[in-house]
Amino acid sequence: MDRKSGAVIFVGGACYIISDGSAVVKSGVLQNSSVVEKVNDEEQYALKVCFVKAAASAAATRIAGEAALWHRRFNHLGFQNLKRAVKMVDGMPSAVADAERVPGTICGPCVDGTMVQAPHQRFTTTTSLCELVHTDVCGPLLKSLEGSVYFITTLEEKSGFIMATPMQTKGMAPDVLKARIKKPETLNGATVKRVRHDGAKEYLTTNFKT
């Protein structure tokens, strides 16, 4: 859509193709959508959608007239709740109660507010306990009562067993990690085969490699 100065927005089970940041060019439902072809390596994929007319009552459709101002003032309050607010808010024009939506438009912040992140399913390639341990160093943070400003995490992938250990300096990471690795080894009766980290310099010391 970039070549035509447009954008595609997904809201729940609906798909909107818009231009000028608000006007709906087309809209569709995603139940019967499918990837029909790969355009090229840069433009990703072409998505085939069953197109339908944009519903005037769609949750992300703009509100007409003076009600649009109050809609924004109330942090993009829902359409029906905005109408109810007329009876509860002093100074709010009665005309807001008769507000209507503008077919073929999109309220950008309302679209953003209805987007949710799909749940991330835990996936593992390990087949046995202690086959892989993930680790990372976080900080600096506010100094603790014991003087720690960092902490190191260790996660045994197969079981999901995780630990976090405070540290005063990043230089303590190799020694702390070696001590922490012994815990899942003791619990599972197995030896850790691999350790995965982000390649930070605190992991690349000779002390850790040995």
- Per-residue pLDDT tens over the stretch 24-80: 555 555 554 444 444 445 555 455 544 444 443 455 677 888 888 888 888 888 888
Eight-class DSSP state of 24: E
Residue 153 domain-assigned?
yes
Domain that holds residue 180: 132-209
- Predicted confidence at residue 105, as pLDDT, reads 72
Residue 20 domain-assigned?
no
- Predicted confidence at residue 202, as pLDDT, reads 85
Residue 165 domain-assigned?
yes
Residue 75 domain-assigned?
no
What CATH number is given to the structural domain containing 201? 3.30.420.10
Residue 175 domain-assigned?
yes
Residue 17 domain-assigned?
no
Residue 170 is encoded by which pair of tokens?
A: 């990043």
Domains: count for the chain: 1
Residue 91 domain-assigned?
no
Residue 110 domain-assigned?
no
User: What residues in the chain have per-residue pLDDT under 50?
Assistant: 1-2, 32-40, 45, 49-57
- Predicted confidence at residue 163, as pLDDT, reads 94
Eight-class DSSP state of 133: E
Eight-class DSSP state of 88: T
Residue 79 is encoded by which pair of tokens?
A: 């359409």
- Predicted confidence at residue 37, as pLDDT, reads 45
